[in-house]
Structure 1
């Protein structure tokens, strides 16, 4: 079997540092995860992903280049073991809640058959494969595809509950997420200690966490827009389920549909598609004529 190669840059530095681990087995696991992360992920590069285009630093010019090439620039292929660990934990949390909803018969969406490979939609928990009649044990939940083909937007919601006319989004909340998206909220609960300095009061923090993070709200508003306008999937709200990493406690929130959130993103996507058709790159909306790191990564690699 051909050996895996980790490309240069931060990923290579992380990979080499893993070799210095005091415990060889732990270091080997880190190297395995980092090498695996360098392989093609299967994530489509010919569409605009909702998680990307709702960010405040989304560069329209960079999106234009990526859609034309169907790939990221080489120097964007980087990661760390901590980041991959976070992704893996998030996937496990999704599976846990999706399994429970499936057992309750409350989850609609796509299902994939391990026996024949067919993917089919079902409104409740299927008892067998629609393609080959394989038993339910061969089926895996494949979530809820949400696309707007004319705008080159494509993504997936974590679930859909027909009884509630609601999308379901499953999230994990850690201190890193708060530090990045709501630092002012996290700082309210920092308590000084003599031995370790400022530490968060986790009990008070979790009690006062009363709404989803801003990026999550923007993303699910776009999901609801796609569901209602392009997928014929009646959606009135999104039910968020949050797991708090430090304590494993959970809570939920409901966000009602308001398409005004998504209108600027929809307009930007339409502009980018028009630019692709005329083969004329749009200006960088982040840093003007000078360009930002995201679009320059494409242009400097030519």
Structure 2
């Protein structure tokens, strides 16, 4: 991210100059940090051991027993018995998480892969006549490069913040409010709806920064909180395999949305006199794709609602209560 910002601000269009700065800066960082890696003390310090009397051991044990606390019990955290293998595929909650992960992650990945083309379309549209004669002229290619680097940097920063905040909120919602972490899936759900609307409506490349930050944030949020929820719901004994299966969900939809974006973008391009393909419609080059992804994001909120409240709804139905009472009597 740091080098992306430096390249866009100080070395626009100057690849050789940027590479020179990159080499020098790496050398400076190495020179500054190398002393911190020196082993100043090679002696193995042996910890001093002091004999402890039996009375002290008994006393410590007694004190420890007095202050033992009961484990914290959380209410309705969606934690069930260990689930894996065929039982995982027969569990409806697995498919709800699979669909949610596929929707959230694929929308984030599509944006990351295609934001460069979005910048190019928006910047190209601003260079069409009429052009402000008082504005300082900057070659279009340099402006596109600068904006693309800024979008990538902002997305990376927001991605990191989203991952950090997801972990913090996951602990707060369970420990302070005794609620399941699955409720946090509404945050990226509604957030992605907002980002799709922004992508549909933004016509100024400078305003695209907000969409990039939000997309990166909710993408990072999703990939931090989702494995934790998988562990809560299906247990930790087979966590690696379970999360591996859920983590495969974005592969197909991400491939589909990214290719769809490319096809729609190519349909709106035209060939210039120099033989290059260019799209001059601004956000019209890709609006059709974000209309579809907006529907997907709204549908994902419905899936998250079923995941969190579906069991409560079924339990509230008279027939389900009667079945539960019959099982208890048996």
TM-score by length of 2: 0.19
Greater relative contact order, per chain length (Cα 8 Å cut-off, separation 6+): 2
The structure that has the greater radius of gyration is: 2
